[in-house]
Structure 1
Amino acid sequence: MIKQLLLCCFLLSSLFISAQDNTDNNSETKNASWNFLVEPYLMFPNMKGDTQIRNIPAVAVDANTSDIFSHLKMGAMLYLEARNEDWAITSDFVYMKLGEDVTPNHLVTSGELTVKETLWEVAGLRRILPMLDAGVGLRLVSVGADADLVLFTSESRQADITKTWVDPIIIVRSQHIFKDKFLLNLRGDLGGFGIGSEFTWQIQAEAGYQFSELFSLNLGYRYIGIDYETGSGTDYFAYDIDTFGPEIRLGFNF
């Protein structure tokens, strides 16, 4: 596992170095100037899936879309990008504290799952077609889960745990600008591959408007899936949860 992580770090570093070398070698024939995007945003997420914390029964959560704005207890999101004609280096930071009622089953009659989820992704992308980028990245994931359950025996059970890991990811994205003002962005990634999580994937779709050279506004939808399992007994943690919802982004271009 350590060797695999080092290999991912090496590949990502090589991509960044190649981006800089490419800029230096082609500065006389291409526009090598770097542009910068600072994009704070807010996501209104829900959760769906299954989790098990330590030795309490596994629980399921299923989002109610009619209450989509009620589950985010706290959130902070910031996207940064440095790009030139051929290359982009990105950073995406997400912190969410979510609360969701558990779905009753034959062991659990009621309860609530509270999740603190921190994601920090660093990636490098290369333009491979006029409107298509591809690249690789690393995503640091830290999940703190707290389950407060009532069992069918009327017994109350509570457990909490925090786990942190790193997922390598493969990314593709397409960015379109229509009539110099209208924006359409599509992005997808997949990763984990048993190095961090068993599997993780993400899809983002956004549409927006460029009000000026400085400011843009995007509305979109994001879906993040994480399937992670580790430990045993009182240290066991399984987290097979999808987090999804609409988002609004304010972009500042420099």
Structure 2
Amino acid sequence: MKEYILACAFSLCVPQILHAADSATAAPETSAASASDGALQITPYLWATGVTGKVSPFGVGPTVNIDRSFSEGRDGLNIAGFVNVWGRHDRFVLSADMMYTDTSDENTYGFPGTSQLPAFEAAGTLNTRQFMATVQGGYRVVDTPAFTLDALAGIRLWHISNEITASGLGRSVRYDESFGWIDPVVGARVFFNLTDRLSVQAQADIGGFDVNSDLTWSFLSTANYTLSEHLSFSAGYKIVDTDYEKDGHVYDTRLSGPVVGITYRF
């Protein structure tokens, strides 16, 4: 419910910002040729994400299948959002992306038997909190007033916290466990200025390469509208896909859904 309240407040604020900025024009990003001293911007996003895949709540437990679209988010999405920080000095660029999601999934889980207890199924709730941070540095390989292309490389850090509560055979089971890992990633970012106010951008990366994850990749594309010299509004779509299986932990998921954000340029 939190994310829907925030989204409503967000939508009420935007018209006021548009009215205040009706005579301002500023490109959401300038090329190195026109601003060689650099630029810095920060963009918080709300993310109506769905999730599909499978996870193991804890190392010795069963693998749980998850399949929920973003339209069903009100039933299990507690909060989801991320913040992107983008900086440039001449042709050198820096991208930092921090994401947090909190989801709940109600299902029937199968628990393996022990010498004292046979295998059994139980109805329960799985709560998963996920933190991801991606930091990449790079170089602007194409730089024109209408189009830029940046090559990137860096690392992605994951931290997963699972808590499962289930009841069956006259007993209740509760367990929680956390684990994390770091993956190398390489990527690229493209930016098109369409008009003085309107632009589109896309950023993608891929990594893992069996260092920890078998594979991880992400994609973000947005359309951006300039509100003032320092502010612009963005709307688009984001996907984060990760296939991790190590030490009994399974985290093979795809998070995807629409995003909205406000960029502030310093």
Give the TM-score category using the shorter length.
0.7 to 0.9
Higher alpha-carbon deviation: 37-46 or 122-131 = 122-131
Show structure 1 runs of 4+ deviating over 6 A.
Answer: 103-107
Q: Which residue is equivalent to 1:195?
A: 211
What's the offset of the Cα at 1:50?
0.7
Q: List per-residue Cα deviations over 1:17-49 (Å, max 9, x = no partner).
A: xxxxxxxxxx9x884211110111211222110
What's the offset of the Cα at 1:108?
4.9
Alpha-carbon spacing, 1:62–1:156, altered in 2? closer, same or farther (3 Å): farther
Select the residue among 102, 123, 144 that pairs with 1:97.
102
Q: Which residue is equivalent to 2:48?
A: 44
Q: Which residue is equivalent to 2:23?
A: none
Aligned residues: 222
Q: Which residue is equivalent to 2:126?
A: 113
Query: What TM-score, normalized to structure 1?
Result: 0.78
SS of residue matched to 1:33: coil
Q: List per-residue Cα deviations over 1:97-146 (Å, max 9, x = no partner).
A: 11123477897564332111111111112222343221101111111112
Q: Which residue is equivalent to 2:84?
A: 79
| Contact 1:45–1:71 (8 Å) recurs in 2 | no
Q: Which residue is equivalent to 1:169?
A: 185
Distance 1:173 1:204 in 2: 9
Which structure 2 residues correspond to residues 219-230 of structure 1 after superposition, within 5 A? 219-230=235-246
Q: Which residue is equivalent to 2:264?
A: 252
Q: Which residue is equivalent to 1:209?
A: 225
Q: Which residue is equivalent to 2:12?
A: none
Alpha-carbon spacing, 1:207–1:96, altered in 2? closer, same or farther (3 Å): same
| Contact 1:61–1:101 (8 Å) recurs in 2 | no
Bigger Rg, structure 1 or 2: 2
Distance 2:166 2:83 in 1: 34
Q: Which residue is equivalent to 1:123?
A: 136
Cα RMSD after superposing both structures: 2.6
What's the offset of the Cα at 1:157?
4.3
Alpha-carbon spacing, 1:65–1:37, altered in 2? closer, same or farther (3 Å): closer
Distance 1:246 1:69 in 2: 14
What's the offset of the Cα at 1:74?
3.1
Q: Unmatched 5+ residue regions in structure 2?
A: 1-31, 112-119
Higher alpha-carbon deviation: 69-78 or 34-43 = 69-78
- Identical-residue share of aligned pairs (%): 24
Q: Which residue is equivalent to 1:22?
A: none
| Contact 2:70–2:256 (8 Å) recurs in 1 | no
